Structure 1
């Protein structure tokens, strides 16, 4: 079964058994929420729709975005991302992974962001089989 791996430089720190997820975060300066929907495919993470609640410093609303229910909705055409590299530091707060209609801090799987490990990568991977002891 394919799922989502979290780690760095090909080293798996955690696995999440989901075929799709939303990556969400709050912009550190403007305090505006961003969300990006991804599908987990063998060739990588495929970005679908993205949403942002507003604009500000370094966060212009993309051309063609539509305002619906208080958020700007848009799509970008990108090749599958394998891996998706994210900066993750204590100063910036943490990302949320949302799937199965529930959001959880990335800390749930990785522990809190730490200055000595300022990045994380997400990629599609074959999940290790579950074994009951």
Structure 2
């Protein structure tokens, strides 16, 4: 199953299976953070994996975390959500990088938060 994601007014194609990754640099610790998400059958967003390059304030590895290729990796135990809101302060060390079929930077400059939601049904 392929899918798509609305990022504000942009429609982004996702890889096979309807999954995507979000990567950014933590605003305080200046360490890389990565999350893998999938779109569920009921059109919600489910966090399937999280990873951080280091640890520090607000970015400790979750329960069951293990060290893999320079990253602390774990599977969060969280329910799916209808949408994600990404802050766009323009003052963080990096934009959000969303990778589906291709990669796109979001929220690099100051502005309204960017909301990520699954595309509505085409049928």
TM bin, normalised by shorter chain, reads: 0.7 to 0.9
CA radius of gyration, larger in = 1
Displaced runs of 4+ in structure 1, greater than 6 A? none
Secondary structure, in 3 states, of the residue corresponding to 2:85? strand
1:113 to 88, 99, 109: 109
Structure 1 distance, partners of 2:6, 2:73, is: 27
Unmatched tracts of structure 2, length 5 or more: none
1:85 aligns with 2:85: yes
Secondary structure, in 3 states, of the residue corresponding to 1:126? coil
Structure 1 distance, partners of 2:100, 2:118, is: 15
> Do the aligned partners of 2:52 and 2:59 also contact (CA within 8 Å) in 1?
no
How far residue 63 of structure 1 moved from its aligned partner, in angstroms, is: 2.2
User: Which protein has the bigger helix share?
Assistant: 1
Structure 2 distance, partners of 1:66, 1:38, is: 19
Structure 2 distance, partners of 1:16, 1:125, is: 9
Please, what is the CA RMSD of the aligned residues? 2.2
> Do the aligned partners of 1:17 and 1:127 also contact (CA within 8 Å) in 2?
no
Corresponding residue for residue 117 of structure 2: 123
> Do the aligned partners of 1:43 and 1:80 also contact (CA within 8 Å) in 2?
no
> Do the aligned partners of 2:91 and 2:110 also contact (CA within 8 Å) in 1?
no
Unmatched tracts of structure 1, length 5 or more: 8-12, 129-133
Corresponding residue for residue 23 of structure 2: 24
How far residue 127 of structure 1 moved from its aligned partner, in angstroms, is: 6.7
